[in-house]
Amino acid sequence: MKQSLGNKIAHLSVEKFKSLPKTGKPKETEWTILSSIVKEQNSTFEVVSIGTGSKCIGKTKMCPKGTIVNDSHAEVMCRRAFLRYLYSHLTEDSAIFYSHKNKTFSLKPGVKFHFFTTQVPCGDAAIFPQDHKNEDAGSIIEDSTSENIPAKKRKLEDIFRTGAKCLKDSMVQDPKTDGATYHVLGVVRTKPGRGDPTASVSCSDKLAKWCHLGIQGALLMLFLAEPVYLSSFTILKESPFCQKSLERALLERVTPSLSLPYQKHKLEFYKADKSFVYRKTENRLACSSSICWWYSQNEQQNFEVAVNGRKQGVIKKNYLTEKGRLGICKLELFKTFRDKCLELKIDLDSDMENSTYEQAKRLSKSYQNNWIILKEQFRTWTMKDPELLHFTVTG
């Protein structure tokens, strides 16, 4: 059953990607990562959001107006597109939600969301011995879940490694021995990048956060009675991975006895036989563009191509204007949140026209309290410039 479900999710995802416009897709000499979220409802499956990409902008290019997408890795693009999908379904006639008298929403019985990706997420999940690839057992350190222990001294070529780096202010760093650098397990890392370093944590860390707090984030949580959790994680067998490393990175870094007010949630892991034509190989270059696609409530399809966090093909004078920004950037998601508050006549005791993005997120007190508890488990997280969160919907 697990094998067939994983294959079904992978097949739907890859075929939906094939059906999208050619704009933004890799050339034959390029590779990219594909991620998707598949809805299951009444025994039917449907792809509802897609993201591709492997790029991330540096700290110096981050925009205080919320108009640039900092992280264009496939997993993040897919998740941001999924947020737009969820917002569009916050209606009385929603196909996936039912509403409560207090104007909050819950998923209808039987609605599930499955996550798919063609390559192991960067960061902690990508660290495992090569002799355990595509197996359900094995990790660099036996019984290592949350302890920061250096990897056993293996030859470097025996270990699948990640380019993601330990946070500079973290007390734990990858140790160097005899001129070689070894990885520690279970730590928060920032995404790899050439030149200007990034401030974005790895996809392993972001997925771990979504697994424990829900994929909806703080703003959407203000409309929901409970978080939206992913039910499964499917990855292609042609991509080297280790299930124990995935479980460690996404689930087991949090103490089992931790009392999070949100419900405990178990993620199922599947592996699929489907092939992806643009998978990473030694003779291919990383595609510079990213794609995001999502369905809306009215079955409208939304498709965007991103380069350096902006819409592809936008001239410089339009970089910060509505013409230049993606519908999944922070500012556009904030506007969607504001518009949904007005549409549903939800009074949050806050002036949405003048509230900053940070102030609005702080209104989601339950989510923020859970996030504080979770960050203590991770021991550290990136501290971005507060000015990057002080924009408003009016600019």
Spatial separation of the C-alpha atoms in residues 132 and 128, rounded to whole Å: 7
Nearest to 74 by CA among 9, 12, 136, 13: 13
Cα distances (angstroms) measured from residue 225 to each of 98, 334, 339, 366: 10, 20, 19, 11
Q: Where are the alpha helices (DSSP H) in 158-268?
A: 203-213, 217-221, 243-247
Residue 205 has, within 13 A of its CA and on its CB side, a CA count of: 25
Radius of gyration of the chain (CA): 20
Q: Give the residue carrying structure tokens 């737009």.
A: 84
CB environment 278-307: b (16+ within 10 A), e (fewer): bbbeeebeebbbbbbbbbebeeeebebbbb
Please name the residues in contact with 240: beta carbons below 8 A apart, sequence gap of 6 or more: 120, 130, 133, 134, 160
Contact 185, 127 (CB under 8 A): yes
Distance between CA atoms of residues 176 and 127, nearest Å: 16
| Cα–Cα distance list, 348 to 340, 362, 364, 365 (Å) | 12, 11, 10, 12
β-pair partners for 292: 51, 304
**Is there a catalytic annotation at residue 92?**
no
List the catalytic residue out of 75, 247, 304, 332: 75
Angle at 316 between CA 311 and CA 317, to 5 degrees: 110
- The amino acid sitting at 85 is Y
- Active site residues per annotation: 75
